Amino acid sequence: MSQIPTDLKYTKTHEWVKQDGDVVTFGVTDYAQQLLGDLVFVELPDIDADLVKEDECCVLESVKAAADVYAPVAGVVVEINEALADKPELINQSPYDEGWIAKIEITDPEALKDLLSDEDYEKHIASEQH
C-alpha cells in the first residue's frame, strides 16, 4: 500500500481532507481509487451546494463500479476541480494533489476533530482487509 500523507485528515469512507483556514479541500484516498480502478467519469458537486456531513455529495464511476463520495464536513462548496470533468483519471494518478474533488467552506471547524489521523486511517484500512 502506498504511503498515507501525514498532513491530512481522513474519514472512514475513504475521503481525505486538507484544512486551510475556514476552507477544506477534499478528495478520495489512494486506497479508495485503487479499489475502484480506472475512473471514467466524475459527477462533481455544484458550486454553492450546501453539504451535510456524511451525505453523498459526488459520484465516481470506474470501469468496474460507481461509488458515492461523502461530504467529510458540513459546509458550502466554494470551488470544484473542473479538470476532473475531462480527466477523471487525475484521481487515479494523483489522488492527493491534482485529483482533489472540491473545496468546502466549513460551517463547524470543530467537526474536523472527528476525522481520523493518518495512523487511525491506516488502522481502519487494515481492519477492513480482514
Collect all residues with Cβ–Cβ distance below 8 Å to 47 and sequence separation of at least 6.
Answer: 77, 78, 79, 80
Q: Which residue has the cell 484516498?
A: 29
pTM of the model: 0.95
The alpha helices in the chain, defined as continuous H runs, are 30-36, 83-86, 90-93, 118-128
User: So what's the pLDDT on residue 103?
Assistant: 98
Averages of pLDDT over runs of 10 residues in the chain (130 residues) are 87 97 97 96 97 96 95 97 97 98 94 95 92
Q: What is the residue extent of each domain of the chain? A: 9-108
Kindly state the DSSP code that residue 34 receives in the 8-state scheme.
Answer: H
Whole-number Å distance between alpha carbons of 91 and 117: 21
DSSP code at position 111: G
Specify the fold of 9-108.
OB fold (Dihydrolipoamide Acetyltransferase, E2P) (2.40.50)
Q: What is the pLDDT of residue 2?
A: 61
Residue 3 has a pLDDT of 83
